[in-house]
């Protein structure tokens, strides 16, 4: 790879052990993907933050980078941790896990990483603009950044995202290159979508079709009606989960769709396809949920306000986690939403989510509006699932 003099000096160790190790990781990655050079990045988002996923081995790698003098060179935020770092007792997290999770957070803080733990960094100040090169790791956020914002990122792994943060660089390959962002498969939606779980269902239907292809194609989508920010984050999470996709274009909605031609052959997706996708991961009305969660991906303040409005003066009957980023919770605190929600018996859990928290075995059936949460509730926690609309999820908590 062609390196600038600064990059060569990083590789030679002029900026310390951790920066050298970081550059070694990036050069190895670039070599595998035949990148000709590095590209500067303006923003990094690191996944693999929950101690439940990292364990001592992962924490050991982080500590090695922090001890070696590693410091973030660009704005860097974290994916959700395994607990609310201020209110973990309310989530039933034990002391040992809490101590280990805080060791992880403190190690990131030593490297100058902003320890806001969220999968929607674009809602809380880590917001790249169109065409900007970034290095993000969380799959739903990668899909959102590439597609909805028009920024450019590959889906980074834990070590490569940390390496990008410590060097401010990433190898120039994959979705950083214009030629790899062109669509090669086209979908026409013949249904009118409004609810998050319907957008999640669409992610399942398209994702399954992409999964079947040998080389992951970039999708071009037409139809479906208006999509809000919340709808799109739900769709991105689902498409990334069920199809491994990191980029799509949606006519009239995503920025690159305006100057890219749609591939000619269209695959039609109708209401029935969406209903089938929902029912395939839905254990049905006769199954009683014992765990309710909204906030996969992390909730916007508009969504929290809607929950507060529905819960005002009422009492939930089941464990109900409302997961979001800490700065969003702080707005909810100020607006009085947190008080209303807590008075109803639900919990606003900041910094974490129902997938990365260590809750295996605690609940049998999850009710949520997130197709992604359903996938991992089953795969990771062996839980049954109910995929419903946002309002139906709240009704389920009140039942
Ligand atoms: Fe975010 Fe957790 Fe869902 S990281 S996308 S809330 S699984």
Residue located nearest, by CA, to atom 7 of ligand 1: 355
Quote the tokens at residue 81: 């941790």
Residue 123: what pLDDT? 98
Ligand 1 pocket, mutate which of 120, 122, 203, 355 (most atoms under 8 A from CB): 355
- Tell how far CA 260 is from the center of its chain: 26
pLDDT band, residue 54 (cuts 50/70/90): very high
Q: What is the mean pLDDT of residues 290-309?
A: 98
Instruction: Please say whether the beta carbons of 165 and 65 come within 8 A.
Output: no
How many Å apart are CA 373 and CA 354, to the nearest integer?
7
270-296 tens-digit pLDDT? 999 999 999 999 987 788 999 999 999
How many Å apart are CA 104 and CA 106, to the nearest integer?
5
Q: Residue 68 pLDDT more than 80?
A: yes
134-157 tens-digit pLDDT? 999 999 999 999 999 999 999 999
Question: Does any ligand 1 atom lie closer than 6 A to the CB of residue 241?
Answer: no
Residue located nearest, by CA, to atom 2 of ligand 1: 353
Residue holding tokens 């201020």? 86
81-137 tens-digit pLDDT? 999 999 999 999 999 999 999 999 999 999 999 999 999 999 999 999 999 999 999
Question: Does any ligand 1 atom lie closer than 6 A to the CB of residue 293?
Answer: no
End-to-end CA distance of the chain: 60
- Taking residue 229's Cβ as centre, other Cβ atoms within 10 Å add up to 15
Residue 141: what pLDDT? 98
Residue located nearest, by CA, to atom 1 of ligand 1: 297
Q: What is the mean pLDDT of the chain?
A: 97
DSSP bridge pairs for 44: 76, 135
Question: Does any ligand 1 atom lie closer than 6 A to the CB of residue 134?
Answer: no
Instruction: Please say whether the beta carbons of 219 and 253 come within 8 A.
Output: no
From residue 180, how far is each of 18, 164, 184 by CA, in Å? 31, 21, 10
Distance between Cα 328 and ligand 1 center (Å): 15
Query: Concatenated DSSP letters for 226-257?
Result: ---HHHHHHHHHHHHHHH----EEETTTSGGG
Distance between Cα 23 and ligand 1 center (Å): 29
The closest alpha carbon to 314, from 344, 283, 294, belongs to 344
The closest alpha carbon to 168, from 36, 42, 70, 6, belongs to 42
Residue holding tokens 């999509």? 227
Q: What is the mean pLDDT of residues 226-247?
A: 97
Length of the chain: 399
- Taking residue 309's Cβ as centre, other Cβ atoms within 10 Å add up to 11
Residue located nearest, by CA, to atom 5 of ligand 1: 297
| Dihedral angle of Cα 394, 330, 83, 114, to the nearest 10 degrees | 140
Ligand 1 pocket, mutate which of 203, 296, 375 (most atoms under 8 A from CB): 296
Question: Does any ligand 1 atom lie closer than 6 A to the CB of residue 308?
Answer: no
Question: Does any ligand 1 atom lie closer than 6 A to the CB of residue 353?
Answer: yes
Question: Does any ligand 1 atom lie closer than 6 A to the CB of residue 203?
Answer: no
Residue 211: what pLDDT? 86
Question: Does any ligand 1 atom lie closer than 6 A to the CB of residue 139?
Answer: no
Q: What is the mean pLDDT of residues 166-177?
A: 98
How many Å apart are CA 245 and CA 12, to the nearest integer?
36
Q: What is the pTM of this model?
A: 0.97
Instruction: Please say whether the beta carbons of 117 and 85 come within 8 A.
Output: yes
Question: Does any ligand 1 atom lie closer than 6 A to the CB of residue 200?
Answer: no
Residue 328: what pLDDT? 98
Question: Does any ligand 1 atom lie closer than 6 A to the CB of residue 322?
Answer: no
- Local structure of 70: helix, strand or coil: coil
Residue holding tokens 């389920």? 396
DSSP bridge pairs for 155: 136
Determine what percent of the chain falls in helix, strand and coil, rounding each to the nearest 5. Answer: 45, 15, 35
DSSP bridge pairs for 37: 2
Q: Residue 215 pLDDT more than 80?
A: no
How many Å apart are CA 191 and CA 188, to the nearest integer?
9
Three-point CA angle 382, 385, 390, nearest 5°: 140
How many Å apart are CA 268 and CA 150, to the nearest integer?
25
Residues 6 or more apart whose Cβ sits within 8 Å of residue 390: 195, 196, 197, 294, 303, 306, 369
1-17 tens-digit pLDDT? 999 999 999 999 999 99
Instruction: Please say whether the beta carbons of 236 and 140 come within 8 A.
Output: yes
Helix (H) or strand (E) holding 392: helix 390-398
The ligand 1 atom at the shortest distance from the C-alpha of residue 120 is 1
Residue holding tokens 């929600």? 341
Distance between Cα 325 and ligand 1 center (Å): 11
Residue 284: what pLDDT? 77
pLDDT-above-70 percentage for the chain:
100
Quote the tokens at residue 89: 């007792």
């Amino acid at each position: 790879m062609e390196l600038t003099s600064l990059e060569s000096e990083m590789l030679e160790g002029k900026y310390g052990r951790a920066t050298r190790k970081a550059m070694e990781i990036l050069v190895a990655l670039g070599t595998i993907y035949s990148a000709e050079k590095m590209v500067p990045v303006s923003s990094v988002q690191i996944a693999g933050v929950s101690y439940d996923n990292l364990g001592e081995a992962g924490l050991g790698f982080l500590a090695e980078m922090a001890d070696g003098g590693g410091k973030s060179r660009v704005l860097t935020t974290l994916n959700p941790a395994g607990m609310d770092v201020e209110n973990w007792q309310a989530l039933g997290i034990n002391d040992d896990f809490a101590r280990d999770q805080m060791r992880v957070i403190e190690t990131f803080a030593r490297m100058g990483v902003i320890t806001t733990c969220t999968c929607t960094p674009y809602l809380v100040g880590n917001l790249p603009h169109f065409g900007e090169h970034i290095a993000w790791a969380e799959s739903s956020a990668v899909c959102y950044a590439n597609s909805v914002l028009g920024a450019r990122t590959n889906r980074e792994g834990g070590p490569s995202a940390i390496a990008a943060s410590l060097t401010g660089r990433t190898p120039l390959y994959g979705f950083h290159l214009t030629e790899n962002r062109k669509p090669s498969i086209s979908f026409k939606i013949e249904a009118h979508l409004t609810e998050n779980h319907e957008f999640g269902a669409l992610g399942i239907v398209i994702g399954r079709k992409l999964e079947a292809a040998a080389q992951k194609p970039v999708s071009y989508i037409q139809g479906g009606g208006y999509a809000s920010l919340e709808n799109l984050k739900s769709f991105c999470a689902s498409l990334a989960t069920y199809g491994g996709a990191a980029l799509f274009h949606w006519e009239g909605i995503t920025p690159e769709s305006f100057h890219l031609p749609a591939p000619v052959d269209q695959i039609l997706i109708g209401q029935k396809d969406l209903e089938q996708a929902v029912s395939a991961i839905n254990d049905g009305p006769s199954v009683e949920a014992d765990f309710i969660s909204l906030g996969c991906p992390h909730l916007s303040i508009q969504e929290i306000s809607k929950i507060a409005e529905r819960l005002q003066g009422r009492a939930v009957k089941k464990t109900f986690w409302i997961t979001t980023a800490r700065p969003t919770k702080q707005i909810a605190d100020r607006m009085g939403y947190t008080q209303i929600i807590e008075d109803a018996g639900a919990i606003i859990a900041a910094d974490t989510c129902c997938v990365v928290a260590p809750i295996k075995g605690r609940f049998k059936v999850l009710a949520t509006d997130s197709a992604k949460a359903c996938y991992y509730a089953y795969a990771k926690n062996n839980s049954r699932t109910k995929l419903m609309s946002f309002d139906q999820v709240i009704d389920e908590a009140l039942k």
